[in-house]
Structure 1
Amino acid sequence: MADNHPAAHPLEIGLDAVQSLEAFARACARLRVDRSYADLRRAARPRPLPAATLSDLLNAKSTPTRDTVITFLLACGLDGEAQRPWLTAWERVATAHQPRPASAVRVREARPRLLGVHAAIQIPGAAGELPPYVPRDLDADLRTALTAAAAQGGFVLLIGGSSVGKTRAVYEAVHATLPEWWLLHPDPGATPAIAAHAEAPTPRMVLWLDELQRYLNHPTGLPAGTLRRLITAGTVVVATLWPDEYNIRISRPRAGEPDPYANDRDLLGLAWSIEVPEMFSRAERRRGETLAGTDQRIRVALDTADAGFTQFLAAGPALIRRWTGGNCYDKAVMTAALDARRVGACQPVTSDFLEAAAPAYLTPAQQATAPPDWLDRALSYATTLVHGAAACLAPVPAGMGLIAGYVPADYLHQHALGTRRTTVLPDLVWTTLTTHHHPDDRLALAQNAERRGQPAHAIALYQRAADVSGSWFVNARLADALAGQGRVEEALQGLREHAATGDGNAAIRLADMLAKHGRINELHDRAGSGDGYAASWLADVLAKQGSVDKALQMLRDRAATGDGNAAIRLADVLARHGRIDELHDRAGSGDGYAAIRLADVLAKQGSVDKALQVLRDRAVAGDGDAAHWLADMLAGQGRIDEAIQILRDRAATGDGYAAVLLTDMLAGQGRIDEAIQILRDRAATGGTYAAFRLADVPVDVLAEQGRIDELRDRAAAGDGYAARRLADMLAGQGRIDEAIQILRDRAATGDGYAAVLLTDMLARQGRIDELRDEVAAGTFYAVESLRRLDQAG
């Protein structure tokens, strides 16, 4: 403790009622008791507490910083968990003036069940919707990630199967670390609203995207650029995702194959990913044992050997038993719903669909002897709650007393994905899906039908989607599917009709398909009527057929009209066929792309100096792309200083990309100070990407170079990882007290990983009394460390 003054108890001060700066100042004055400013300054650690700062705090002259509040609390004898209610009150006051976003709630007011936390089994004597939370091994990493994201914006993603505790873990972590932040939980189709928030973000916002696949699979999708803008603006994005969904989205397609997940791969690349195991570890089970006496549901789940703890609490195994144990009609209805979702029907399936599709899973005899009310009985069976927690099929309302459709339980769906992955969907089910599906699922169903070797059904679904949306992507997929079935003329006719409306994407696709199928005359006609795309593809065809001069003349004519695409194609064809003189002429007349292609050809021929001169001439003329290529070629020749100078000159003109290339090159040479300074200068002039890169300068690089002051600055700005690496460095230098204080300060902010390191360091140093203080302050991790020490002693 900082001194012997008796501190007022937080409950006596009534921090929950503090809603204004004046009320917070009065609470601080009560906590101060009779301490003088001099007393507080002497007790302040680790930062000074000037009289002017104290006066502002205690007289409500301005909102104090978080660091000031922590220093004041330490001076008054409060540390660890004792600070949490004070910091919560401070954050409530600090954010009181901020506007409330539409449909957002404070994190502390959010209801876990509405955020996607599964209902728990109901057992006689168990009270409440949910049992107490059993702390997980991943909590420290999760809270560290959230704390870092809160400091500068970030995306935290939990990856794990259904009912393994992802959503409960992230809810508890967000509730503990960001209780006064706003929480926005948009519908999967609310991409425009999310984009609007990205354009005018609200400070201290948590964007909750549970079951991220629902947002990514929606026809409107979730652009990676939107998420990047939110993160840059300081938003904390939290999401959960199943492993299969994650793996398929991060995998790159083979060469020549379409890349439907390019956006999702970029988006997931922004995430701090944490995996959630299927089963409890031994340490987690021990924590569960300490809570088993408080809730019978925990006791029963721990005693169940044939299922995971969290899966059992969500009634997962019971759902499987109910699916497999029903009569043939019950099972047929549920299997039809599960198979529909397996191939892309994420929206509720209707009773009409289930009635039409279920016979595909029944024998002729079972169909013939079905009772008149077989469907009603099957739906009643499938929608019955198991242990009061979940049903195999959940009805979705369409109004009072009306059912829009049914959605399979997530756990049952994930189980069916594994057991039925290679099972071919009956043709009757595909036919029924074509006529009975939600419009939002149409594209996903069509793509799944195409991947699963059902071209006729894919074409029917693409056709329906094209009739409604007119999307260039849908039109392109429809054309490809038709062409793949030999229906080339139908494919071309559809593209012609869309190209005639001015759809540039359809015109590109049409030219490509005409070239692939040898429709040279039509390419000629379209090129003659001014279609630049057709001219470019025609030139490619002619060049491949040996009519290089004819192809080049066509591209020259198009390039002369200002067609940039034709100019690029012209330079490519000239380079491919060794027309160096013409490339020289075009480069000399200001064609930047011709200069780049010329330099590439010269370098491959061994004339590196000539190549460099070509690029240098263009760079001097102000061509930024040529300057970037020049720097790269110089660096490849080992002429690093020249490359750096070229990029430095370009960066000085405001070329942001040159600045980024320059910082990468400097960092690669170990010149970290220069790289950081360039990023700082760019960020100070409004360069948002530079600011993003500045925050991303690897902490490990700073630590490896022993840059203690830089790490200290990063730690003071709220970077938990920097603080932990700093503590590790200091401990390695024998500065144990400093290291412990840094970890203690971080743990006080809710950094669970710092708390783990702190208790471990105290234990290794044999500082038993301080460990006991941590236990008394409620630091969970200290309990285990103290127990191990007691056992060892």
Structure 2
Amino acid sequence: MDPRDIETLAQLAERLGQLRGNRSYRALSKAATGLPVHDGRQSALPSSTISDLLNGKSAPSRDTVIIYLTVCGLDTVEAQRPWLDAYKRVAQQHQRRPPTTLRVRDARPRILGVHAAIQATEQPSYREAGDELPVYVPRDLDAELRTRITAASQQGGFVLLTGGSSVGKTRALFEAIKTVVPDWWLLHPADADTIGQFAAAPTARTVVWLDELQRYLDHSTGLPGAAVRELIGAGVEMVATLWPGEYAIRTAPPAVGQPDPHANDRELLGLAELVAVPEEFSAEERRRAEQLVADRRIRIALNTPDAGFTQVMAAGPQLVQHWEQAPAEHCFGKAVVTAARDARRVGARAPVTCEFLAAAAPSYLTPNQRATAPADWLNQALTYATKSLHGAAAALSAVDAGMGIGQIAGYQVADYLHQHALRVRRTTRLPDTVWQALVEHHHPDDVDRLTVSAHSRGRHQEVEALYRRSIHNGDPKDLGPLVELLVDQGRVDEAITFLRTHANSGDTQAAYRSAELLAKHGRVDEAIILLRTHADNGDLEAAYRLAELLAEHGRTDELAQRADNGDTFAVGRLSGLLAKQGRVDEAIAVLRTHANSGDVYDVLRLSNLLTKQGCVDEALTFLRTHADNGHAEAASQLAVVLAKQGRTDELAQRADNGDPNAAYQLAVLLADQGRIDDAAALLRTHADIGDTQAAYGLAKLLADHGRVDELTAEMVAGNQGAAAALRAMRRKHQHGLRYQARS
């Protein structure tokens, strides 16, 4: 039969039903289990899936259609192709649309971050004015890029283009997805939180567009690598662009003994398929461009010497000239651009405000220029700095404070100018007044970058000022770094006083850190008094730290007093301290007193101490008593001790009586003895009566021993652990394939 006229889900279901013939559901399911592993997964076709498929309840997955076609006798690529084409038409109609998405074919490149192009004349023709972009000049990298996007569209993936500003990476990426996946949904997330929300309920056949990837990585919550893996595993395609310098910084391993701020970024970028975009057009690319010179903008770019084609199209060289060769009467404009560029160079990525520019720009003017500046010098400067060059770009772009507010939040430096500044002003020192302006007028999101930059330049005064301002504005996370800075400078008393001020305002973390500093610098009694005050007011963290401190300094009397008053932390530390001093009988006596009152931690501590002293039978008797009285932790610990002692008979008896801990530990013992079938049978029995631990243990056992058929059957039966194990095996298989391809 011919599937080429299928357009609806009902038609697809009807035609697939005809294809089934007189085969029963059971026969189809059985035939599916005999198929070879498909794409790293065992083929399965439960009866419920067949029913949904033939009743047209919802669009099936592509894999389900392939398996169904195969068991119906269409087992070649040629035979399946027209059916899969029909499935694709139907699936596109019934695909759930994620919020805030649109079809790739309907996306506007300028909204996605593609640079505006220069105008050929001051008064562009109607055609030029109406065209957002010039004709695309095919790039040498197109074939590789589109191949990677095609592969990612088939099994999920992450494709990353690296290249400098205005080299054409965003345009090439847009043209690639428009060509390869025009009917997919496109999600252009506002921030990393949006990506996290989508990862919680991903939709397949969706492109996540992450132009300027560093914006998402620098978000307050970052972009977790786990979320990206989930999206890839769900069949989502992620595409992104990133500057080479950003990539190098984020993938470089940390120095030995130093913090690792980019650990997550390094993991995330390791998932990406890289495509590098050259700075210049090749001879072949220029030849292709010559064939498109009917667009006068292309002719201008080809005829401009000493500059790259894509950079000219984005007015990059004109931006540099506008700044470096500003006429004398526009010295104020040049100064505000320089101030904005230097601010971004040292870590200010948020738009710089007028207040910052007014305070910083005079540092780049001569005394005479400052003395003769007109009253409206800043307005003149901003008019010059924001002038559109050839209709494509401006040195500074105004950023609004919100739709309808009618106010400017600040000004953003053009990326091309920023990259130019990184080269020509890399070693240029910022004037003191500019640093002071950054301290007073920075955006809160830039604090971390500015402090790192100031610290690396030896500007400890500015680091301290940035931390103090951040804390004053209500951000407690900078309290610790400020204290560390003060301590490193030998200002310990000042650090303690600062911490106590915040502790008195209710900041418990400040109290803990203050006590830590006091103890570290020999003021143990003061630290104990401080922690005791908080502990006696019900602060459990303070009680824990107090017990640790008392034990560290051998204060057994106060530990005993607090233990008698019901402080469980004191009981644990007192028993540990007594045992360490060789007073094991006293330690056991202390624990037995409190364990008999039912304290969970003391029960476990006493059993551990008895076991270490060789009193295994006494420990087991003690644990049995509490376990049989419904003490869950004691039951768990009892199973562990029995397993370590190899007491399989008692484990089996307790397992038969419904103890899930005993069943699990017994299964582990059986597996260690090579009795895999016995272990699996035991776990399956307990999993069938709702024991979650046994269900996950069974899934792990089957996965560890490569028993994919049984694992698939468990998944069909509803074992979530089996489903997770199969997904993990699939990801591992796909990672291995990608690794082999790279090798």
Structural mapping, 1:38-187, within 5 Å = 63=59, 66=62, 89-95=89-95, 98=96, 101=99, 103-123=100-120, 127-132=131-136, 133-134=138-139, 135=142, 137-149=144-156, 155-187=158-190
SS of the residue 1:344 aligns to: coil
* In 1, Cα distance between equivalents of 2:433 and 2:392: 33
Whether the 8 Å contact between 1:575 and 1:597 is mirrored in structure 2 is no
1:247 to partner: Cα distance: 4.1
One-letter code aligned to 2:520: K
Whether the 8 Å contact between 2:486 and 2:495 is mirrored in structure 1 is yes
* In 1, Cα distance between equivalents of 2:578 and 2:163: 52
Specify whether residues 243 and 555 from structure 1 end up closer, same or farther in structure 2 by C-alpha distance, changes over 3 A only: farther
2:488 matched to 1:474? Answer: no
Q: Name the residue aligned to 1:381.
A: 384
1:440 to partner: Cα distance: 3.7
2:517 matched to 1:513? Answer: yes
SS of the residue 2:408 aligns to: strand
Q: Name the residue aligned to 2:394.
A: 391
* In 1, Cα distance between equivalents of 2:360 and 2:437: 6
* In 1, Cα distance between equivalents of 2:424 and 2:241: 23
Whether the 8 Å contact between 1:536 and 1:569 is mirrored in structure 2 is no
Write the deviation string for residues 412-438 of structure 1: whole angstroms up to 9, x where unpaired: 223323443443322211211222233
Q: Name the residue aligned to 2:661.
A: none
Whether the 8 Å contact between 1:279 and 1:308 is mirrored in structure 2 is no
Q: Name the residue aligned to 2:658.
A: none
2:561 matched to 1:529? Answer: no
Structure 1 segments unaligned to the other structure (5+ residues):
30-35, 39-45, 48-52, 632-638, 703-718, 729-752, 757-793
Whether the 8 Å contact between 1:647 and 1:658 is mirrored in structure 2 is no
Q: Name the residue aligned to 1:341.
A: 344
Whether the 8 Å contact between 2:671 and 2:679 is mirrored in structure 1 is no
One-letter code aligned to 1:335: T
1:574 to partner: Cα distance: 8.3
1:427 to 410, 426, 432: 432
SS of the residue 2:388 aligns to: coil
Specify whether residues 229 and 326 from structure 1 end up closer, same or farther in structure 2 by C-alpha distance, changes over 3 A only: same
2:227 matched to 1:213? Answer: no
SS of the residue 2:387 aligns to: coil
* In 1, Cα distance between equivalents of 2:610 and 2:169: 53
1:520 to partner: Cα distance: 1.8
Specify whether residues 60 and 576 from structure 1 end up closer, same or farther in structure 2 by C-alpha distance, changes over 3 A only: same
1:403 to 398, 403, 408: 408
One-letter code aligned to 1:211: E
SS of the residue 1:183 aligns to: strand
SS of the residue 1:138 aligns to: helix
Structure 2 segments unaligned to the other structure (5+ residues):
21-37, 44-48, 122-126, 596-600, 624-632, 646-669
One-letter code aligned to 1:697: M
2:706 matched to 1:673? Answer: yes
Q: Name the residue aligned to 1:449.
A: 454
Specify whether residues 643 and 86 from structure 1 end up closer, same or farther in structure 2 by C-alpha distance, changes over 3 A only: closer
2:627 matched to 1:622? Answer: no
1:525 to partner: Cα distance: 0.7
1:206 to partner: Cα distance: 3.8
* In 1, Cα distance between equivalents of 2:724 and 2:320: 46
Whether the 8 Å contact between 1:155 and 1:231 is mirrored in structure 2 is yes
* In 1, Cα distance between equivalents of 2:77 and 2:634: 64
TM-score normalised by structure 2 residue count: 0.67
* In 2, Cα distance between equivalents of 1:427 and 1:597: 62
Write the deviation string for residues 45-89 of structure 1: whole angstroms up to 9, x where unpaired: x99xxxxx9999999887465469898999999999x99996764
* In 1, Cα distance between equivalents of 2:575 and 2:709: 38
SS of the residue 1:673 aligns to: coil
Whether the 8 Å contact between 2:162 and 2:277 is mirrored in structure 1 is no
Q: Name the residue aligned to 2:276.
A: 277
Structural mapping, 1:271-670, within 5 Å = 272-279=271-278, 286=284, 289-290=287-288, 292-294=290-292, 296=295, 306-327=306-327, 328-370=331-373, 374-398=377-401, 402-469=407-474, 471-496=475-500, 498-499=502-503, 503-531=507-535, 533=541, 547-548=553-554, 550=555, 621-623=635-637, 641=672
Specify whether residues 235 and 597 from structure 1 end up closer, same or farther in structure 2 by C-alpha distance, changes over 3 A only: farther
1:318 to partner: Cα distance: 3.7
Specify whether residues 66 and 232 from structure 1 end up closer, same or farther in structure 2 by C-alpha distance, changes over 3 A only: closer
Specify whether residues 276 and 236 from structure 1 end up closer, same or farther in structure 2 by C-alpha distance, changes over 3 A only: closer
TM-score normalised by structure 1 residue count: 0.63
- The one of the two structures with greater contact order (alpha-carbon pairs below 8 A, sep at least 6) is 1
Write the deviation string for residues 424-475 of structure 1: whole angstroms up to 9, x where unpaired: 3222112112222334434543454345433333333333322333x44133
Identity level (%): 42
Structural mapping, 1:752-767, within 5 Å = none
* In 2, Cα distance between equivalents of 1:665 and 1:37: 39
1:518 to partner: Cα distance: 3.3
Q: Highest CA radius of gyration, 1 or 2?
A: 2
One-letter code aligned to 2:706: D
1:341 to partner: Cα distance: 1.6
1:114 to partner: Cα distance: 0.9
One-letter code aligned to 1:673: G
Whether the 8 Å contact between 2:212 and 2:241 is mirrored in structure 1 is yes
2:717 matched to 1:694? Answer: no
Moved more, 160-169 or 348-357: 160-169
Q: Name the residue aligned to 2:650.
A: none
SS of the residue 2:114 aligns to: coil
Whether the 8 Å contact between 1:301 and 1:312 is mirrored in structure 2 is yes
* In 2, Cα distance between equivalents of 1:311 and 1:658: 62
One-letter code aligned to 2:636: G
Specify whether residues 270 and 449 from structure 1 end up closer, same or farther in structure 2 by C-alpha distance, changes over 3 A only: closer
Q: Name the residue aligned to 2:659.
A: none
* In 2, Cα distance between equivalents of 1:673 and 1:527: 53
1:357 to partner: Cα distance: 0.2
* In 2, Cα distance between equivalents of 1:559 and 1:251: 50
Whether the 8 Å contact between 1:443 and 1:461 is mirrored in structure 2 is no
* In 2, Cα distance between equivalents of 1:196 and 1:79: 36
* In 2, Cα distance between equivalents of 1:246 and 1:347: 20
1:394 to partner: Cα distance: 1.3
SS of the residue 1:115 aligns to: coil
1:485 to partner: Cα distance: 4.7
Whether the 8 Å contact between 1:450 and 1:458 is mirrored in structure 2 is yes
Specify whether residues 139 and 76 from structure 1 end up closer, same or farther in structure 2 by C-alpha distance, changes over 3 A only: closer
Specify whether residues 174 and 448 from structure 1 end up closer, same or farther in structure 2 by C-alpha distance, changes over 3 A only: same
One-letter code aligned to 1:356: A
SS of the residue 2:165 aligns to: coil
* In 2, Cα distance between equivalents of 1:76 and 1:375: 68
SS of the residue 1:349 aligns to: coil
